[in-house]
């Protein structure tokens, strides 16, 4: 089984388009370029992974087809019993399947190791079982696993994820591991049936439930049944139980008892379902506990004030409260949902993720629960969808339309433009004068049906009868205007916050917390923040890593209590470990409460620029002094 740093190397290549140098891979993996070349050589020597990494003078890249085949091969082959971790994993799987226990001497013989080695493996397992509800009990040479069937199944699902690529559950892998062809079709019909019954179905989380379905079928076939639930099933759960019963029998010829069906129906209700009401969002409040909606309303109000964004919208609050109500149930069972989009949301929408972190932190305090990164990402999806609707209304581009009148052609053209582009473009005036001064308009764009001999960037010539090519050209111009707006504003704002005294090159610390303290003390010495802000930044870091890309960490406090807005930045040629990533740039950001409105633009653009690995390589190479850093940053923003 490929693991450790070679697995980390392959994972990084799988997320990086094009060629990657040995130096960049070394930074990410935390080894030397020579070790990277050694790992690639070892991969090429194995029959299973021979073709997975391609080499050239430009560096290395992944052969996607070969990598997929390698993952399938890794899934199918038995675990290597020679490594302690793999051997302990194997013991755990056997203990889960053997109610009468496992003989230590037999296990040692099976693995060709000593009994003391098995004792060491069992000690490793005891640590692994902390918090799982399960425990090991030894009587002479026999070791048994004590705990409920529910806890056993929860552990099985965790083991399955641990063995999966990037811990993501796929239907294909469920079918392979459980020898259960048809689970994909079962899932499709289940989603359709629930949709027909009036539910929103979170299809990002449905595979987690399908995994539990597969585990239930496997365990009941071994006569391992779940305990009856103390919760009384309501009408919605009973209907879902009937749906599951029909589909399980139709697809697998299986009949599960009431406790099993209720358990699966509860998983669906708390992980992937939200009621959809044809009477409007207000009617959804009937499904909510009053204390939940009060708590969420209070947190939404606080988040709106803290981040200067208006989330105080009734339908948004109700939908978020529905999600939180299910989250509280999952947290109470320590049975969280996985989100395959967590990394991309964190990287692509840092402020939205930051808002979600704030909401999650307040939920943790209010309900005394733990909210994982995956659950934070689901909150971010709610926040992002709402803010996207708001920003589309505010971010429209204006245009004037020049179209000489001839019957109703100018009216028809305007109607067609608004039908195709109305969400992004506002037509402020229609001018019939073919001789209009193109420089006399105060709109972002000018659309004209009159050919011009003096091309201008903001003037687009279109046909009287709008074509697909015209629509494409206008969309491109709209995107350009928005990009120019954003970058001009960001450049103006961002460059105000750097100072030579807070620029550091090739400065390292033993870990993330030490780096935050070092930069924080520099900012405190400059009179920009106090000790509480540093403590807040450390608290934020411990909740969820601020490494928003593979090369950039942005530590900060959720409370915007700085005396002045400022950025202390470290640019390092050699990457350092940061929350499971390897970063070259660390930017400690302190925000003053009165400047919250600049937070989103700065934060998003900063992450966007430093998320480009070529930009980071260029910056780390050229930013030998503070003036050089500023010059290079301006160049990046202008490009």
Mean predicted confidence (pLDDT) in 430-456? 80
SS3 429: strand
375 in Cβ contact with 327 (< 8 Å): yes
**Token output for 340:** 């395959």
Mean predicted confidence (pLDDT) in 90-111? 84
Rounded Cα gap, residues 476 and 472, in angstroms: 6
Residue 494 has pLDDT above 70, yes or no: no
Q: List Cα–Cα distances, 69 to 5, 76, 116, 168, 173, in angstroms.
A: 20, 11, 38, 17, 13
* Residues 141-191 pLDDT 10s: 899 999 989 889 888 888 887 776 555 678 888 888 888 888 989 999 998
Rounded Cα gap, residues 26 and 32, in angstroms: 5
571 in Cβ contact with 539 (< 8 Å): no
Please give the pLDDT value at position 150.
87
SS3 584: strand
Please give the pLDDT value at position 111.
77
Mean pLDDT (the chain, rounded):
84
* Residues 363-407 pLDDT 10s: 999 999 999 998 999 999 889 888 877 766 566 788 999 888 766
Phi and psi angles of residue 337, each rounded to the nearest 5 degrees, phi first: -85, 145
* Residues 19-60 pLDDT 10s: 988 888 888 788 888 888 888 888 888 767 778 899 888 889
Please give the pLDDT value at position 67.
85
User: With 0-12 CB in 10 A as exposed, 13-18 as middle and 19+ as buried, what is 327?
Assistant: buried
Entry pTM? 0.56
């Amino acid at each position: 089984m490929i693991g450790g740093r070679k697995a980390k190397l392959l994972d990084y290549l799988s997320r990086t388009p094009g060629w990657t140098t040995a130096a960049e891979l070394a930074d990410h993996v935390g080894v030397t370029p020579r070790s990277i070349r050694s790992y690639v050589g070892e991969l090429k020597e194995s029959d299973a992974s021979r073709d997975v990494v391609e080499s050239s003078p430009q560096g290395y890249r992944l052969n996607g087809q070969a990598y997929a085949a390698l993952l399938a091969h890794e899934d199918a082959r038995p675990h290597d019993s020679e490594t302690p971790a793999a051997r302990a994993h194997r013991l755990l799987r056997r203990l889960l399947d053997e109610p009468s226990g496992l003989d230590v001497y037999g296990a040692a013989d099976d693995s060709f190791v000593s009994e003391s080695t098995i004792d060491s493996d069992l000690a490793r397992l005891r640590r692994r079982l902390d918090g799982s509800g399960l425990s090991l009990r030894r009587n002479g040479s026999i070791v048994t696993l004590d705990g409920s069937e529910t806890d056993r199944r929860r552990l099985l699902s965790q083991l399955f994820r641990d063995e999966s690529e990037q811990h993501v559950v796929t239907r294909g892998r469920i079918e392979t591991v459980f020898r259960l062809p048809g689970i994909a079709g079962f899932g499709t019909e289940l989603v359709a049936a629930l949709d027909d019954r009036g539910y929103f179905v979170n299809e990002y989380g449905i595979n987690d439930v399908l995994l539990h379905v597969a585990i239930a079928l496997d365990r009941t076939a071994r006569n391992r049944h779940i305990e009856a639930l103390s919760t009384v099933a309501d009408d919605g759960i009973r209907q879902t139980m009937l749906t599951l019963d029909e589909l399980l029998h139709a697809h697998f010829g299986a009949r599960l008892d009431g406790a099993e069906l209720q358990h699966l129906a509860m998983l669906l209700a708390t992980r992937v379902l939200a009621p959809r009401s044809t009477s409007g969002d207000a009617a959804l409040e009937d499904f909510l506990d009053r204390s939940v909606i009060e708590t969420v309303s209070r947190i939404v109000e606080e988040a709106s004030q803290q981040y200067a964004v208006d989330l105080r919208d009734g339908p948004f609050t109700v939908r978020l409260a529905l999600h939180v109500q299910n989250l509280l149930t999952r947290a109470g069972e320590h049975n969280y949902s996985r989100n395959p989009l967590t990394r991309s949301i964190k990287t692509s929408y840092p402020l939205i993720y930051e808002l979600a972190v704030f909401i999650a932190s307040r939920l943790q305090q209010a309900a005394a629960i733990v909210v994982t990164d995956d659950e934070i990402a689901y909150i971010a999806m709610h926040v992002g969808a709402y803010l996207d609707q708001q920003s589309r209304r505010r971010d429209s581009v204006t245009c004037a339309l020049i179209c000489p009148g001839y019957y109703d052609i100018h009216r028809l053209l305007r109607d067609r433009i608004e039908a195709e582009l109305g969400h992004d473009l506002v037509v402020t005036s229609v001018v019939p004068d073919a001789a209009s001064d193109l420089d006399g308009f105060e709109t972002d764009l000018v659309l004209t049906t009159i050919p011009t001999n003096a091309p201008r960037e903001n003037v687009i010539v279109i046909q009287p009868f709008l074509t697909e090519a015209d629509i494409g050209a206008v969309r491109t111009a709209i995107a350009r205007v928005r990009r120019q707006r954003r970058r001009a504003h960001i450049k103006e704002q961002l460059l105000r916050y750097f100072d030579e005294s807070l620029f550091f090159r090739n400065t390292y610390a033993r870990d993330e917390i030490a780096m935050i303290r070092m930069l924080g003390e520099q900012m405190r010495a400059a009179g920009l923040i106090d000790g509480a802000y540093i403590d807040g930044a450390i608290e934020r870091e411990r909740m969820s890593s601020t490494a928003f890309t593979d090369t950039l960490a942005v530590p900060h406090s959720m409370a915007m209590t700085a005396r002045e807005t400022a950025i202390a930045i470290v640019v390092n040629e050699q990457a350092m470990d940061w929350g499971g990533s390897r970063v070259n740039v660390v930017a400690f950001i302190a925000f003053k409460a009165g400047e919250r409105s600049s937070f989103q633009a700065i934060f998003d653009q900063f992450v966007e620029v430093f998320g480009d690995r070529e930009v980071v390589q260029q910056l780390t190479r050229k930013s030998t002094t503070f003036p050089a850093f500023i010059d290079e940053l301006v160049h990046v923003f202008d490009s």
